[in-house]
Amino acid sequence: MSESNNIEIQEDKLIEQEFQALLTDYLNSNHRKKVDIIERAFRFAKEAHQGIRRRSGEPYILHPIAVARIVCQEIGLGSTSICSALLHDVVEDTEYTVKDIENLFGKKIAMIVAGLTKISGGIFGDQASAQAENFRKLLLTMSEDIRVILIKMADRLHNMRTLGSMAPSKQYKIAGETLYIYAPLAHRLGLFAIKTELEDLSFKYEHPDAYKEINQKIADSEVKRQAAYEDFSAPITKKLHEMGVHFEMKARVKSVYSIWNKMQTKNIPFEEVYDLFAVRIIFDPEREEDEKKECWNIYSIITDIYKVHPERIRDWVSRPKANGYRALHVTVMGPDGNWTEVQIRSRKMDEIAERGFAAHWKYKVGNSDEESELDIWLKTIKEILENPEPNALDFLDTIKLNLFASEIFVFTPKGELKTLPKDATALDFAFTLHTDMGYHCIAAKVNHKLVPLSQKLQSGDQVEILTSKTQTPKEEWIHFITTAKAKTRLQAALRKDKKQIAAKGENIFNNFLDENGLKKNDLSVVDKILNHFSIDKKEELFYQLGNNSISLDESVKKLFKNKSHNVFMKYLKMPFGGNNKSVHTPMKPDSTAAPHKIDRKETYILRDNGKEKNYTIAPCCSPIPGDDVLGYVNEDETVIVHKRSCPIAMKLKSSFGPRLVSAQWDEHIDESFPATIEITGIDGVGVLNHITKIISEDLAINIRNLSIESNDGLFTGKLGIMVHAVQDIEKLCNNIKKVKEVKSAVRVKNA
């Protein structure tokens, strides 16, 4: 038997094994058992993808099977979704059409596959902002059938799990896009387990060293953590058993990404992340209607044993989150003196928390609150899509306003409850009630007190909107609206107004051309006027003319006098300059005429020997050697270096992936880079002397500035320095922390 035959048999065996594992998952679920249609979908997909391989070299069919397993086991969907997952790439990658799928598997599966086909292609596509456009299609399709997005989530999760076979620049693009779009979307759909894994996997590829280090520290602190958990849980377990509660209790460690995030936002080392784990109590109520009562009974038992943190009680049992999450959270002081969060959930609440909206089908009873929450959210998405942003990236930002929103609850004058994102203003509330109310509102009454439209609302506020027929939408409103619906509606209205004003301006412009004998389609005329007013676009010129911000006066007319003289001068200059353009635009030196094309597949080495430098530092995040970085290649092939965690880089990754290049610092960079260290501690005699002595002894550091403020016995200092690498900062911070009075010394964003 030839080696290729042998490999084929082995692969066939593996494919069959994986499919049987999928069937076992399905048979262990509590869905109706439709094995026959799943079997048919698998055989059809296997045949369609015959001979096709993934980038990792494995047979392509293993990807749809893996996606179907995630759909079944981790999201909890049934046969329709499993078949759609198995078939999700058939239409895009083979000769088969959606019609073929419909004839073989029915309308529903064909519709979901068609939805998934619409939104693929952009994941590894080379078109700028393809992902943002893709995301728009994804949301459109999702508002028809939520299963499309749930299967897409499974597809993205499997792509992330197998990202290792991709080139580094592709890894950054896909990881960045995942963190920017898909993780917030998973959160909004209540898929918490998937959201956490997507964040961790993105983090693993963006910051491999930090990921390894935190993982190691979590493992090293396991024994200590387990001992702390046992001390904490023992008295609660004893009491709950005495009360006859059926429950399980477990410690849930914070994810690597959320630990790192906390370290970044609070500027603290791993050792100071005290809430490393939360305790979860999952109980089985005797009767389902007693769930809420039992949550509060368990809460009462815990708070009898430990002191409660009054500001950290979260009641999502009485009022679930917009993504359907229900639980009671309480933070108490444990026996070790650290605050510990306890999450109290029934079995049903736990399943909904882990599987999100997918789990609601399992517990579907009439038109429950949870389902209406999903409907409300999908309705909002539909409204945003009716008035989309013309720019794909702005559209993404608008949607993000709606994804990661913490909610507040406010009341109408009649006592109706409305859910809004945290930091929503009175103007947002007006648009939530009705678009026309948003357009015509002039002020609001919050708790019967008159307030401006920019007033931020708090949970529990009662809000009344005051309107006037003469009021029209204002440009400055854009600065204090936070909800996606308000933003899209306002911008649509402003665009409409702008169009009317621009049309008036275009008439003024055309009349000017006629009066001065100038041709309408002569681009040089338009360019001259644009340059005269320092305006970039023709549309903006028309708008400003219509708005009376500018006028076509004598100074503009002068531009077009002595026209024949200009023509004569043009020809006179031609022999000397070669063409008219060269008179105004000096030729670039030969060395820069054709920029060197950068190979996006290779890792780009960042070099600077004092004379030549092949990169530019992005001012938004000011990276320095030692930081995890990536390069963005602009139009003239210049590499702009960003930190991988920079918010601007996040946007670039999700929309301009093909322009990204994996970047690495050269070991011999002569340049010094600015950095800022924040120092805090207890004020005392000679502290400043100690600190400055340590800094001046360090030969690798130059001080740019130092400012220290003292308040009530504590001090905070900002130290601006020039360094060669991250290691210099770490060494300096460690040395400063050796001063007894200093409590922390950390690198912060450059001031």
Which residues neighbour 473 within 8 Å (Cβ) at sequence distance 6 or greater?
438, 439, 490, 493, 494, 497
Catalytic-role residue among 12, 92, 248, 288: 92
Handedness of CA 66, 69, 75, 79 (dihedral sign): positive
End-to-end CA distance of the chain: give it in Å, rounded: 70
Alpha-carbon torsion angle 693, 699, 702, 703, nearest 10? -10
CA pair distance 694, 276, nearest whole angstrom: 33
- DSSP 3-state assignment of 59? strand
Catalytic-role residue among 58, 93, 275, 407: 93
Please check whether residue 135 is in contact with residue 396, taking contact to mean a CB–CB distance below 8 angstroms: yes
User: Which among 715, 718, 720, 721 has a CA at the least distance from the CA of 741?
Assistant: 715
Which residues neighbour 698 within 8 Å (Cβ) at sequence distance 6 or greater?
728, 731, 732, 735
Rg (CA), the chain: 31
Establish whether 92 is a catalytic residue. yes
Question: What's the half-sphere exposure (Cβ side, CA atoms, 13 Å) at 83?
Answer: 25
Buried b (16+ CB within 10 A) or exposed e, 405-423: bebbebeeeeeeebbbbee
SS (H, E, C) 353-403: HHHCHHHHHHCCCCCCHHHHHHHHHHHHHHHHHHCCCCCHHHHHHHHHHHH
Please check whether residue 695 is in contact with residue 723, taking contact to mean a CB–CB distance below 8 angstroms: no
Backbone angles phi, psi at 167, to 5 degrees: -70, 150
Alpha-carbon torsion angle 518, 520, 521, 524, nearest 10? 40
Establish whether 369 is a catalytic residue. no
Backbone angles phi, psi at 531, to 5 degrees: -60, -40
CA pair distance 710, 692, nearest whole angstrom: 16
Catalytic machinery residues: 92-93
